[in-house]
Amino acid sequence: MTVLQFVARRLALTIPLLLGIIFITFMLIRIGGQDAVGMLTSPLASKQEVDAIRASLGLDRPLLEQFAIYIGNVLQGDLGNSWQSKQPVLGEILRRLPASIELLFLSIILGAAIGIPIGLRAAMRPNGLFDQVSRFVSLIGFSVPTYWMALMALFVFYLGLRWTPPPMGRISIAAFPPKPVTGSYFLDSLFAGDWSAASSAGHYLILPVAVFSLIVAAPIIKQTRAIAIEILNSDYVRLARLYGFRPQTIRRLTLRNAFTPIATYIGSELATLLAAVSLVELVFSWGGLGQWGLNAILFGDFAAVQGYVLTLAIFATTIYLLVDVAVLVLEPRSAISK
Amino acid sequence: MTTAFVQTRQPRGLVLAWAMLVGLTRRSPTFVLGTAIVLVFAALAALAPWLTDYRPTQTFPDHVLSGPSAQFWFGTDGNGMDVFSRVIHGSQYAFGIAIPALLLMMVIGVPAGLIAGYRGGAIDDLLLRTFDVLRAFPTIVLALAVVAATGQSIVIVVLVIGFLEAPIFARIVRSEVLALRSSELVEAAVAVGNSTWRVMLVHVLPNSIRGATAQMAIRMAWAIRVSTTLAFIGVGIQAPAPEWGVMIRQGAEYINSGEWWIATFPGVALVGLVLGLNLFGDGAQDLLDPKHSDSR
């Protein structure tokens, strides 16, 4: 099976999955008791006026028909308009996505840099002291809610020590945001050569990235440990030991073979993490996709909620596909077992 | 002689219990620590009215936002309610959501996994597809959207968490049933003429439930995390209910002006109980399911 065939087959499987997710959210938010038309109109509006608005939004038609119309629009790149901002949902999403991605990727890089070495070290001597301690620490990481950790970090490092800027967005209000290229204030200011803006954006990144990378590191420690232990107990490592290879060589061999499963694991967690990052955004008023999505859910902004869910679903399926293709290219033998 | 024998008998039970506890601690220290923490919280939940001087929603207009003191151990919140009493009563909400949600997960998940694994066919396909959808998608967002749309009640929160997590139990049971289906045990049970239902319920189910039991505490921890996260965002349980997520949400407003105690104490309690359940579950997995233990 060539890579292209593989991608085509996976894409064909992805489409029903996406449709399923859209369908479920579409129906659930409409069947629910929340009536968004009631929020849009003045409490004094007459029954006829409310019905007129309902009809203009197409909400008086049967649910399945509404769904068909929505899918037709989505295929033409029209995700509808947000009822809160009156702006097209697609534009709102694209404007906010880079801020979330910036936070997510920096945290994952840092989290992996913390988690992978700890996991490998723990695997070298299972149930040793280092393993016990790291296992306990990673369980704490599993147990601390993201938003609470963010609040506590703010209290200590902003209010107490004054090391970090206030939780008000991504750059100081005194600084001019750079011209958008990548969407990351930090990178864009660097490209524009605006050092003061870059420094401000960098300072605003520190605390949210630090908090989220610790949340990300906990499951990475656990997975790396499990993967490395499996490899250390494999026949080829036993053979390498039998041949009398030095411990450094065995460690290198383990790392080399652990890389693909660890990368696959992190890839498979990306969508969940993109959803989880919204809680960090909420506490730091980050203004990214996640904060916007949570707000849309709270206010029953149908089109925005569907746009948010659809973005997460597309993101998740794309990442899965990329990870699988990468594995296929890196380790062609994995195709045989599929 | 006989009297001496009788006399040594009394402490023997205690010594034996102590020896068992020591042995268990040696085999899985996390299990013992986790059990202890969970028991403490269970006691707090059961004895809440007797442990606190004030009702959790009783207001003290003269003591709004006062810091921790001898009268109010954990201070008071923006409504002048006693944070200590609210934190203790919060454990009732945690168990009150986690236990029914867990039961729902198992009542749906275990039979689904059993039937899908043993019978295969359309039910199995449906289960696998459902699992694909849930795996590809962050369930917390789905939970948020559903609870926000269908009404802000504790019953809805329990139902949503139960339904979203049921496939995890189904998958665990299914994989064990699949392995068992072609075993000699089942072959023999079928050969002596047991009906399919009898084979499934009497022979397959008891032998394929271990993995699911090992997961129970971890799923409870997850249920508590989700319900508090929903409440923190402002969906599901609403103020002034003494629920930890609600309290952290209320406290978040005040943290930038220095009133740290409102958000801190419920968070500590939440971390404590979730950590306890995770430790318990981690240890239970080692004890019940040595096959899956990664230390081998």
Is it the case that residue B54 has pLDDT exceeding 80? no
Return phi, psi of residue B54, to 5°.
-125, 155
| CB < 8 Å to B260, chain A | 155
**Nearest-CA distance B185 → chain A (Å):** 29
> Which residues does chain B have within 8 Å of residue A304's beta carbon, measured at their own beta carbons?
none
The overall average pLDDT reported for chain B is 83
Residue A287 tokens, joined: 């203004």
List of residues 6+ apart from B33 with CB closer than 8 A: B276, B279, B283
Residue-range domain boundaries for chain B: 31-295
* Mean pLDDT value of segment B222-227: 92
Domains of chain A by residue range: 96-286
SS3 B70: coil
Query: Of the CATH numbers 2.40.50, 3.40.50, 1.10.3720, 1.10.1660, which one belongs to the domain with range A96-286?
Result: 1.10.3720
Q: Rounded to an integer, what distance in angstroms lies between the CA atom of residue A27 and that of residue A24? A: 5
Whether B137 and A312 lie within 8 Å, measured CB to CB: yes
- C-alpha–C-alpha distance, residues B37 and B272, integer Å: 7
Which residue in B has a C-alpha nearest to residue A29's C-alpha? Answer: B149
Q: Do B148 and A308 touch (CB under 8 A)?
A: no
Rounded to an integer, the average pLDDT of B162-182 is 87
Q: Number of A to B CB contacts under 8 A, please give it.
A: 145
Hey, which bits of chain B come out as E strands? none
A159 with B258: Cβ contact below 8 A: yes
Q: Which residue of B has its CA nearest to A128?
A: B295
Q: Is the backbone of residue B75 left (phi > 0), alpha (psi -120 to 50) or beta?
A: left
Q: How confident is the model at residue B289 (pLDDT cuts 50, 70, 90)?
A: low
Closest to A143 (Cβ–Cβ): which among B136, B140, B274?
B274
Residue with tokens 């899985």: B28
Residue A298: which of B140, B142, B235 has the nearest Cβ?
B235
Query: Would an 8 Å CB–CB cutoff place B65 in contact with chain A?
Result: no
Cβ within 8 Å of A, B 143-172: 144-146, 148-151
Tokens of A198: 């870059």
DSSP secondary-structure letter at B81? B
Whole-angstrom distance, CA of residue B94 vs CA of residue A50: 41
Confidence category of residue A333, pLDDT binned at 50, 70, 90: low
Interface test with A, best of B139, B141, B261 (most A CBs within 10 A): B141
- Distances A272 to A185, A225, A234, B163, B288 between C-alpha atoms, Å: 24, 21, 31, 18, 29
Predicted confidence at residue B220, as pLDDT, reads 93
pLDDT tier at B251 (50, 70, 90 boundaries)? confident
| Interface contact flag, A297 B148, Cβ < 8 Å | yes
Chain B closest-CA separation from residue A306 CA (Å): 10
Among residues B209, B201, B127, the alpha carbon closest in space to that of B172 is found at: B209
Answer yes or no: is the ipTM higher than 0.85.
no
Q: A69-78, A248-257, B125-134 — which is least confidently predicted?
A: B125-134
In this prediction, residues B67-93 reach a mean pLDDT of: 83
Alpha-carbon gap, residue B109 to B116, rounded angstroms: 10
Q: How far is CA A144 from the centre of its chain?
A: 18
Distance between CA B40 and CA A203 in Å, rounded? 42
> How many angstroms separate the CA atoms of A336 and B280, rounded?
39
B31-295 domain in CATH 1.10.3720.10? yes
Residue type, A111: G
Q: Is there a contact between B43 and B92 (Cβ–Cβ < 8 Å)?
A: no
Rounded CA gap, A226 and A247, in Å?
19
CA-wise closest residue to A170 among A72, A82, A91, A100: A100
- Say whether pLDDT at B278 is over 80: yes
pLDDT digits 0-9 by tens, A146-157: 999 999 988 888
Average pLDDT over residues A313-333: 79
Chain A residues with CB-CB distance to B132 below 8 A = 17
